[in-house]
Structure 1
Amino acid sequence: MDPIDKQILFHLQNQARMSMTELGKCVNLSQPAVTERVKRMEEKGIIEQYRTIISNEKTGKHTTAYMLFRTSDCHAFLDFVQTSPHVIECHRISGEHNYLMKVITESNRSLEEFGNSCDKYGTYSILIVMSTPVEYKNPIFSLDDISSPDLL
């Protein structure tokens, strides 16, 4: 990955729907040249997918929580989690718990009901999100990273 690829990623992470013509202007390349670079990064798996970020509040999902979960039956638990519409992230972690889940529900009551449905899989702690001072940060590139030799 060269500095131009990093600039492309910087712009796409902030606006994935940007046209290739507009992206080319941002990085001083022609539309065909920037399209080829994006295609190459997609083929190499550098760009895995494009996503839409949906407002939970505006779609009736008012409660966000994290659950620290301990289970001895990981396969059954993971089958349950993968089919649950409330679980939007699940990570295997080290320490006294096996998993960390991010859960979004309509209300505290529906979060409690979800917790009750988890009882048969193990024990857990629920941490309800009070507010979100940092909603979302792009984890990979910033303007400072573009010029960093470590990412070349």
Structure 2
Amino acid sequence: MDHVDKQILFHLQGQARISMTELGKQVGLSQPAVTERVKRMEEKGIIEEYRTMVSPEKIGKHAAAYILFRTRDCHAFLDFCRSSPEVVECHRTSGEHNYLLKVMADSTRALEEFGNKCDKYGTYTILIVMSSPIGPRHLIPSLE
């Protein structure tokens, strides 16, 4: 991956719907050349997918929490997480807890209800998000 590929990734991170023509202008390549580079990065798995960022508050998800979870029945717990729409991320961790979940819900009451459903799978600590002063960051920083 060279400097131009990193520039392409930088621009795609900020605006995944950018046209190949505009992307080419941004990185100093023709539309066919930039299209070929993007296709190659997709084929190599460097670009895994394109996403839309949805505002949780605008769709009624006013409460977010991280849950540190300890369980002895990982398979049942993961099945539960996969079937729970509140779970937006699940990470296997080392240490005292073996999972870290990110959960989104309509309210703190709904977070509590989700916690109640978790009771049968193990022990946990719910950390309610008060604010997010630093949001998701790009993996490729500005190259200018």
TM-score range, shorter chain: over 0.9
Partner of 1:31: 31
Task: Report the 3-state secondary structure (helix = DSSP H, G, I; strand = E; otherwise coil) of the residue aligned with 1:117.
Answer: helix
Give a deviation string over 1:6-51, Cα, whole Å, max 9, x none.
1000100011000000000001100000000000000000000000
Cα distance in 2 for residues equivalent to 1:7 and 1:137 = 16
Partner of 2:141: 142
Cα distance in 1 for residues equivalent to 2:91 and 2:136 = 18
Matches within 5 A, 1:3-152: 3-138=3-138, 140-143=139-142, 146=143
- Amino acid in the other structure paired with 1:119: D
Q: How far is the alpha carbon of 1:137 from its aligned partner?
A: 1.0
- Amino acid in the other structure paired with 1:41: M
- Structure 2: tracts of 5 or more residues without a match: none
TM-score under structure 1 length normalisation: 0.93
RMSD (CA atoms): 0.9
Partner of 1:150: none
Task: Report the 3-state secondary structure (helix = DSSP H, G, I; strand = E; otherwise coil) of the residue aligned with 2:104.
Answer: strand
- Amino acid in the other structure paired with 1:142: P
- Amino acid in the other structure paired with 1:68: L
Cα distance in 2 for residues equivalent to 1:46 and 1:132 = 28
Cα distance in 1 for residues equivalent to 2:111 and 2:10 = 36
- Structure 1: tracts of 5 or more residues without a match: 148-152
Cα distance in 2 for residues equivalent to 1:134 and 1:98 = 25
- Number of corresponding residues: 144
- Structure 1 stretches of 4+ with a deviation exceeding 6 A read none
Which stretch shows the higher mean deviation, 36-45 or 129-138? Answer: 129-138
Cα distance in 2 for residues equivalent to 1:99 and 1:142 = 29
